[in-house]
Chain A
Amino acid sequence: MKILIADDSRVMRQIVLRTMRQAGFGHHDFVEASDGAEALDLVASESPDLVLSDWNMPNKTGIELLRALRVTGNPVPFGFVTSEGSDEMRQTAQEAGAMFLIAKPFTSDTFESELSGMLS
């Protein structure tokens, strides 16, 4: 499967990638985007099977990215990996069509728990 990681922090993209490997998902293909607009373009060109996205990003936030995908009918599975995990944000994410929201700081156990059903 192909997985798109969208985060404006290159360091955080590396940490998400490392955590995915630790969770046992390192054999999948990964594509990286440095903001929401680039992620939207890469969803179109790369057709990932899953998007893992930060919430706060320049040029298009994660929730704007998700809404832009859904409004065009793109059903790609989508999860947030973000520094904020309030109930309000989780509800907003769910209503927009996200599968899950993982709050930073996270562990590989969290990734395994959220993604094992889909990726294993």
Chain B
Amino acid sequence: MTSASAPDEALVLAAIEQVWGSMLYASAEPWPADRPAEFESGLQAQIELRGEWNGRLVLTCDSEVATQIAGAMLGVGPDEGLEQPDVHDAVGEVLNVVGGSVKGALPGTSALGLPGVSEVTAVPSRGESFVVSWGDAPVYVQIVPDAA
């Protein structure tokens, strides 16, 4: 592994901004470090990158944010009702497209995994994440290298 091949915050943020804008018709802004970013339950999507850098990207958001993201992708209003599997699917697919963009920007990356989505009851550590905005809500993003 070389540090040059590792995805950094700026690269992943640029990918998220592109996906938010083109797929979700929303803007993503860095979340102020001194602003609270808590929620009690939500969804966490993960996708693996393999190559010169090995690890995974992790995206964690509030359940309501996940539903809003799925609605934005499908063009479905908040009152139209979305099945939970479609919400999981949508959040995973958002991270899949972010992962594809990151992979394309890292020449030493040879493979992108399939996204996995699970429910979580705690937010990640702020120290191990960066946080971007979905409207007025936080979305946690982690770049997690494999354990040595």
Contacts and interface: CB of A to CB of B under 8 A. Distances in A.
A11 B100 contact: no
Interface residues of A, number: 20
25 contacts: A8-B114, A9-B93, A9-B96, A10-B89, A11-B86, A11-B93, A15-B74, A18-B74, A18-B75, A56-B96, A56-B114, A57-B114, A58-B114, A83-B97, A83-B99, A83-B112, A84-B100, A84-B104, A85-B104, A103-B100, A104-B23, A104-B97, A104-B100, A105-B19, A105-B97
A10 B86 contact: yes
A79 B101 CA distance: 19
Contacts, number: 55
Nearest to A54: B96
B57 interface: no
Given A11-B93, A57-B114, A84-B103, 12 more contacts: A9-B96, A11-B86, A11-B89, A15-B23, A15-B74, A56-B112, A83-B97, A83-B99, A85-B100, A105-B19, A105-B23, A105-B97
A92 interface: no
Interface string B91-107: 01100110111011000
Given A15-B73, A84-B100, A107 B22 contact: yes
A104 B114 CA distance: 15
A90 B85 CA distance: 31
Interface string A96-107: 000000011101
A86 B18 CA distance: 16
A85 B105 CA distance: 10
